[in-house]
Amino acid sequence: MTNNCRSKLRWSPLSSTAPSAEAQAPRETGKLARQAEGKALTWPQYLLIRRNKRKWQNYASIPSSILGLAAGALYFGSLDTDPMKPIMGIDPFMFYGICTTACMGAGYIVGPSLGGRFGERIDAMDRQFYERISKNRVDVTLQSPTSERIGSLHQYRQWLRDQNKYRRKVVFDEQGGR
């Protein structure tokens, strides 16, 4: 039996049943979105959408910051300016340049919120995933609280193994030190 066949038959800790061949995550986001509309998401599909959601949140900050820069430049560039009157003790052109840059920064901050709209349908699975993470996390101070690095079932299983290894290390060290 090859590794590919074995992985399809192996039981997953994230699901209540063994994953079928259909449960394997497709590589195309468009195909995934069409499949997920009609039925519940499987864990591999959820993790793929979650990873793509983070990417879209980051990518959305680029056009929103450009839009903020353009809006600030249009607004502050159209104001009548008297170069002899300082605004808050600063040259008016410098002040308007700073305000235009602040508009670009505001666009950069708003971008991830707009990009996050693409993944609203996975909110219920997000809550369930974070409940599993908080239940299995050993020491909150040493681990990533939101588990951003988990992007696949393999990474989730590795994370569980690391948590169990740390848990065993702590328990056996405490018992041996008595």
Task: Give φ, ψ of 14 to 5 degrees.
Answer: -90, -10
Paired residues of 87 in beta bridges:
90
Residue 154: closest CA among 55, 29, 53, 43? 43
Asked if 115 contacts 60 with a C-beta cutoff of 8 angstroms, the reply is: yes
Residue 56 and residue 125 in one domain: yes
pLDDT by 10-residue block (mean), the chain, 178 residues: 44 46 47 54 82 84 95 93 88 93 95 75 80 76 62 84 83 67
Residue 173 and residue 128 in one domain: no
Residue 98 and residue 165 in one domain: no
CA 103 – CA 84 distance, rounded (Å): 25
Q: Is the pTM of this model over 0.75?
A: no
Asked if the structure places residue 33 within a domain, the reply is no
Asked if 44 contacts 32 with a C-beta cutoff of 8 angstroms, the reply is: no
Residue 7: closest CA among 128, 163, 157? 157
3-state SS assignment for residue 87: strand
Q: In terms of residue numbers, what domain contains 127?
A: 46-132
Residue 124 and residue 163 in one domain: no
Asked if the structure places residue 31 within a domain, the reply is no
pLDDT tens string 155-165: 888 888 888 88
pLDDT tens string 57-66: 888 899 999 9
Centroid of chain to Cα 93: 39
Q: How many domains does the chain have?
A: 2
Give the Å distances, CA to CA, from 2 to 21, 27, 139, 174.
14, 21, 37, 42
Residue 150: closest CA among 124, 125, 115, 113? 125
CA 22 – CA 126 distance, rounded (Å): 22
